[in-house]
Amino acid sequence: MPHLSPPANYPQIPDDLCHQCLEIFERDFTLTPSPQNLVYVNSQNPLGCRLCALFLDKFDSSPDAMSPLELGYVLRCRDGYFMGVFDIEFFVMQEASAEGRRIRLCFQEELRTESSMPHPVPYDLTISTTTGSGQSFARARGWVRECMDIHVECKLAVPSSNFMPTRLVEIASGRLLNIRLRKGSEIAPEAPYAALSHCWGSNMPYKLTQARLSSCIIQDSAEDWGKESAQMGSIYNHSLLNIAATGFSNGENGLFSRRDPALLLPIKVTLQQDIHTVRKNNHRQMDMKRGNYLLIDVNTWKDAVDESPLCNRGWVAQERTLSIRTLHLGHRQLFWECLCKSRSEVFPEGFVQGTLAKHPKRFLQSRASEQASRMEKAEKFRQSHKDAKIRYRERLERERMGKDKYSLFPTSFFKPKGYTMSDWMAMWTPQDLEGCDLSVFDDISNKLVAISGLASLISKDMKCQYLAGMWRKDLEHQLLWKVRVTRPEAAFGNTRGPSWTWASVDGSVKTPWMESGCVGLHEHSPLRWIMTDEISSHPEKLTWISKVNQAQVTPLGSREFGQVKSGCLTITGRLGVFRIDKSKTMTNPPVNGKGKLVSKKTWIAASWDTLETEAVFGPSGRTELWRYTEYGTQGNSKTKAKANQLNVFCLPTRIMNADPVNIDYEAPMLTGLLLLPGGKNGYYRRIGQYEVSEHWEDGSVAAFTNKTTLLDSSLYISKDKKGNFKIVIV
């Protein structure tokens, strides 16, 4: 077994860095970019400098002495959960924007032993020069054994029912490697099997067809594809191990690669003086003492796993989430991911705290952790009383006789917690609160099929209607998704759902944060719907001003969780009409026949759903507009909007007065939907989402909660006495 050494035992001799890299740690650091903080790197730099070698490798560059790579660097002191952790960030000066290439290295105190973060972790000093070595295989086998033997939560997450895929590939080792296709019905239902996640790439030399039966799905049979894709969730959830070709974009170059260990191991440096910083919010001073440190790449997992060729594919979201254990075959390391641990060959016992990573397996972990906690409490009770069994029987007898109001252990005590809406939303809301990219499909119409296993699993606890990636329960909240980066409109005739579901757009989406204390989305705290004329008179953290009356989708075929033909929802709210000033030059409200505009211009942060919509209304972001007090589609020629003056319908949905996740939340914040009429009378389609804060401009929220009088009944289904309109969104 490779030799492991914790930081306390690691030689305290700094790495032999080049002169300019040593100077980085001998001078004062700044928390903002400075002209003095520059490093020039070229291919002629001393070969022994591991930091220079890291720069050349990470930035994928081979500059010469005449035109070296110019790097700036800055010290970062983290806030929030990892407050007090220091990073040094290097960036290419020509790419100094936020989207430019960067390297972020965390300072790990070499001799730190207290529990403060980042804590010391063992690391492997002797990794081999290839991921296909016997040493790497031994490490992987050790991870599997430890997880199966020790990890309580991973054991609890194992499905109670047996399942066997329709077909498996049997690999028998001996004098010759024997590979053959087996029917699942011929194998014992409790037999363990491994699953595989991989990218096909553009070339598929071997695939299962009806003429030549050798993989899990017959690729030229729509019927078999539909049947097998529907049970992909169960296949990965029941597997003993998921083997993922994470670092490879196709199968042409195998699963293993050579590597330079010097580029992967922590770099030892000596900080020559103390560093003092002050946080802006509470003026708390943070210190980093002089001494020996290890520089650890906090993006190791993010770069090698989360943003790998494999994990960027939408299909893999389900495979990675539902498999209890995943062995990632990375481009330079093997990585391990289960409910309890994330590891690599360099850090075989786990990463330093603060390493940037997504945690898709928390979907399974949340329920397993809760069940493990209950079991631990019960075991502590039993062990703390010598006569626990007698006490337990007495308590049950007293309860049976009605003399004891509270049960010692209710019948539901050991029953696993059901999945909630928060669990579902958490899958698309990783650590950075951004959405999961579900865009990279061989066939974009398969987007809903790719998460059908997850939907099927959670549906048993949701106990409500599934609506093309959403759920009927708390649907108002889910409607407020927005795209992160706009992309072209999905192809006409796609089967991914109506315009109000996130599945209808290409690209990744950002979903609203689910927080029970803020939004109240659980059984014990139902969603509150308030329709009042005076929104400001209600001090609650959350106010809903639109309500979904009915929603439905029509599946394509008999599969509830797959592709859909169509869908619609009926919603009641304060539908408003606004004139967008695309040119941002209007200073006075225009005269518009039956439509009367208010005299004050306001603005919103618009997020359009597609590039085509942006081409019409302008780019996402600040959008200036005027509100109609009255609006009608019939009238003289003055009703028509001029060039750069466009009408849009706004449906205000929610007002939040606080956000426990974002301390800089500009409350009160109103969020709603951007719509355009389409098709039948009272029918609309979604074209985007918008936000507006009272902090941006006085009266801006009121501008969107005040009524617009719609003069034509063709613009709505019905209207109530308070001026709220019922419409249909398709």
Total-model pTM = 0.78
Mean pLDDT of 60-70: 73
Cα separation, 305 vs 244, in Å, equals: 10
Q: Is 267 helix (H, G, I), strand (E, B) or coil?
A: strand
Q: Which of 159-163, 274-278, 362-366, 384-388 tops mean pLDDT?
A: 159-163
Please give the angle made by the CA atoms of 677, 680 and 683, to the nearest 5 degrees.
45
Q: Is 302 helix (H, G, I), strand (E, B) or coil?
A: helix
Cα separation, 653 vs 729, in Å, equals: 14
* Bridge partners of residue 170, in order along the sequence: 180
Mean pLDDT of 435-453: 60
Q: Where do we find the tokens 């049997």?
A: 170
CB half-sphere exposure, 555, CA atoms < 13 A: 13
pLDDT at 444: 53
CA 537 to each of CA 531, 532, 534: distance values in angstroms, whole numbers, following the listed order? 12, 9, 6
Structure tokens at 66: 């005449």
**Which amino acid is it at 187?**
I
* Mean pLDDT of the residues in the chain: 78
Q: Residue 97: which pLDDT band, with cuts at 50, 70 and 90?
A: low
Least confident span in 191-200, 381-390, 482-491:
381-390
Share of the chain above pLDDT 90, in %: 29
| CA 45 to chain CA mean position, Å | 40
Least confident span in 62-66, 208-212, 495-499, 603-607:
208-212
Q: How many residues are there in the chain?
A: 730
Q: Residue 173: which pLDDT band, with cuts at 50, 70 and 90?
A: confident
* Bridge partners of residue 109, in order along the sequence: 293
Q: Where do we find the tokens 């924007």?
A: 97
Q: Where do we find the tokens 């991870």?
A: 143
Mean pLDDT of 329-349: 94
Least confident span in 246-250, 429-433, 588-592, 641-645:
429-433
Cα separation, 596 vs 145, in Å, equals: 72
Mean pLDDT of 56-77: 80
pLDDT at 208: 64
CB 136 within 8 A of CB 124: no
Cα separation, 218 vs 208, in Å, equals: 5
- DSSP, residue by residue, 38-93: EEEE-TTS-TT-HHHHHHHHHTT----TTSPEEEEEEEEE--GGGTT-EEEEEEEG
**Diameter of the chain measured on Cα atoms:** 91
* For the chain, domain boundaries: 19-124+259-298, 421-515+529-568, 574-590+599-729
The answer for residues whose C-beta is within 8 angstroms of residue 560's C-beta and 6 or more apart is 456, 459, 466
For residue 337, how many other CB atoms are within 10 A of its CB?
25
Least confident span in 331-345, 381-395, 625-639, 679-693:
381-395
Structure tokens at 277: 């910083």
pLDDT at 387: 57
**294-326 tens-digit pLDDT:** 899 989 999 999 989 898 887 788 899 999 999
Mean pLDDT of 422-440: 48
**697-726 tens-digit pLDDT:** 766 788 888 878 898 899 999 999 888 999
Cα separation, 496 vs 566, in Å, equals: 8
Cα separation, 237 vs 24, in Å, equals: 48
